[in-house]
Structure 1
Amino acid sequence: MTAILQHAERPIVPAASTSATVATPPRPGGIALVLGTGPEIIKLAPIIRELGDMARVVRTGRRFPQGISEVFFAEHGLTDPRSRLDLGADARAGRIALALERLDQLFAADRPDVVLVRGATDTALAGALAAHSNGIPLVHVEAGLRCHDLDLPEEHNRVLVDRVSDVLCASTQGNVGNLRAEGLDGRDIRLTGDTTVEAVHHRLMPERARLNLLRKWGLETDGYVLATLDRSENVDDEEALFAIMSHLAEVADAGYPVVLPAPPRTRAAAIRAGVLTARMGVRVVNPLWHSEFLALARHAALLVSDSGAVQEEATVLKRPILVVRRSTERPEVLREFGALVGPRDDIAGVALSWLADGEDRRAGLADLPCPFGDGHSSERIADAVRHLALVAAR
Structure 2
Amino acid sequence: MKRIFTIVGARPQFVKAAAVSRMLKKHGIDEVLVHTGQHFDANMSDVFFEEMEIPKPDHNLNINGLTHGAMTGRMLEGIEKLLLQEQPDAVMVFGDTNSTLAGALAAKKINIPVIHVEAGLRSFNMKMPEEINRIITDRISDILFCPTENAIQNLKREGFDLFPVKIIKNGDVMQDAAYYYAQKAALKSTIIEQLGLHHFVLATIHRQENTDDIQKLHHLIDGLNAINHEIPVVLPLHPRTEHILSQCHIRSKCIIIKPVGYFDMIRLLKSCQLVITDSGGVQKEAFFFGKHCITLREETEWVELVENGFNTLVGADENLLFAAYHTMKQKQSDFSLNLYGNGTAAEQIALTIKEL
The answer to whether 1:377 aligns with 2:345 is yes
SS at structure 2 position matched to 1:365: coil
Alignment of 1:165-314 (within 5 A): 165-186=141-162, 187-205=165-183, 209=187, 213-220=191-198, 223-254=199-230, 256-276=231-251, 280-314=252-286
Larger radius of gyration, structure 1 or 2?
1
Deviation at 1:157, TM superposition (A): 1.0
Please list every run of 5 or more consecutive structure 2 residues that lacks an aligned counterpart in the other structure. none
SS at structure 1 position matched to 2:36: strand
The answer to whether 1:349 aligns with 2:323 is yes
Residue of structure 2 in register with 1:141 after alignment: 117
Looking at structure 1, the residues matched to 187 and 89 of structure 2 have their Cα atoms a distance apart, in angstroms, of: 42
Looking at structure 2, the residues matched to 218 and 63 of structure 1 have their Cα atoms a distance apart, in angstroms, of: 29
Q: Deviations over 1:106-147 (max 9, x none)?
A: 111211111000111110000000010010011000010011
Looking at structure 2, the residues matched to 119 and 162 of structure 1 have their Cα atoms a distance apart, in angstroms, of: 10
Deviation at 1:71, TM superposition (A): 4.3
Residue of structure 2 in register with 1:91 after alignment: 67
Cα pair distance change 1:311/1:69, threshold 3 Å: closer
Cα pair distance change 1:62/1:78, threshold 3 Å: same
Alignment of 1:107-126 (within 5 A): 107-126=83-102
Cα pair distance change 1:231/1:166, threshold 3 Å: same
The answer to whether 1:365 aligns with 2:306 is no
Deviation at 1:72, TM superposition (A): 2.8
* Aligned residues of 2:43 and 2:260 also touching (Cα < 8 A): no
SS at structure 2 position matched to 1:372: coil
Q: Which moved more, 1:302-311 or 1:63-72?
A: 63-72
Deviation at 1:216, TM superposition (A): 3.4
Residue of structure 2 in register with 1:164 after alignment: 140
* Aligned residues of 1:166 and 1:188 also touching (Cα < 8 A): yes
SS at structure 2 position matched to 1:364: coil
Looking at structure 2, the residues matched to 170 and 242 of structure 1 have their Cα atoms a distance apart, in angstroms, of: 36
Which consecutive segments of 4 or more residues in structure 1 shift more than 6 A?
A: 65-68
SS at structure 2 position matched to 1:226: strand
Cα pair distance change 1:162/1:66, threshold 3 Å: closer
SS at structure 2 position matched to 1:329: coil
SS at structure 1 position matched to 2:118: strand
Deviation at 1:240, TM superposition (A): 0.9
* Aligned residues of 1:58 and 1:83 also touching (Cα < 8 A): yes
Residue of structure 2 in register with 1:74 after alignment: 50
Looking at structure 2, the residues matched to 66 and 145 of structure 1 have their Cα atoms a distance apart, in angstroms, of: 29
Cα pair distance change 1:162/1:230, threshold 3 Å: same
Looking at structure 2, the residues matched to 70 and 143 of structure 1 have their Cα atoms a distance apart, in angstroms, of: 26
Q: Deviations over 1:22-62 (max 9, x none)?
A: xxxxxx97100000011101111111111125111011025
How many residues are treated as equivalent by the alignment? 349
TM-score for the superposition, normalised by structure 1: 0.83
Letter of the aligned partner of 1:219 in structure 2?
L
Cα pair distance change 1:91/1:211, threshold 3 Å: closer
* Aligned residues of 2:207 and 2:278 also touching (Cα < 8 A): yes
TM-score for the superposition, normalised by structure 2: 0.92
What RMSD in Å do the two structures reach over aligned CA positions?
2.2
Q: Deviations over 1:171-196 (max 9, x none)?
A: 01111111111111242100100111
Looking at structure 1, the residues matched to 61 and 200 of structure 2 have their Cα atoms a distance apart, in angstroms, of: 40
Q: Deviations over 1:331-385 (max 9, x none)?
A: 0111221100111352112213322x2xxx2x4234x324111201001011122
Looking at structure 2, the residues matched to 239 and 54 of structure 1 have their Cα atoms a distance apart, in angstroms, of: 48
Identity %: 31
Deviation at 1:102, TM superposition (A): 1.0
Looking at structure 2, the residues matched to 384 and 204 of structure 1 have their Cα atoms a distance apart, in angstroms, of: 27
* Aligned residues of 2:5 and 2:33 also touching (Cα < 8 A): yes
SS at structure 2 position matched to 1:180: helix
Looking at structure 2, the residues matched to 226 and 66 of structure 1 have their Cα atoms a distance apart, in angstroms, of: 21
Residue of structure 2 in register with 1:43 after alignment: 16
* Aligned residues of 1:319 and 1:365 also touching (Cα < 8 A): no
Deviation at 1:66, TM superposition (A): 8.6
Looking at structure 2, the residues matched to 119 and 206 of structure 1 have their Cα atoms a distance apart, in angstroms, of: 25
* Aligned residues of 1:226 and 1:296 also touching (Cα < 8 A): yes
Deviation at 1:64, TM superposition (A): 4.4
Cα pair distance change 1:191/1:66, threshold 3 Å: closer
Deviation at 1:153, TM superposition (A): 1.6
Cα pair distance change 1:119/1:88, threshold 3 Å: closer
Cα pair distance change 1:68/1:213, threshold 3 Å: closer
Looking at structure 2, the residues matched to 262 and 198 of structure 1 have their Cα atoms a distance apart, in angstroms, of: 26
The answer to whether 1:152 aligns with 2:128 is yes
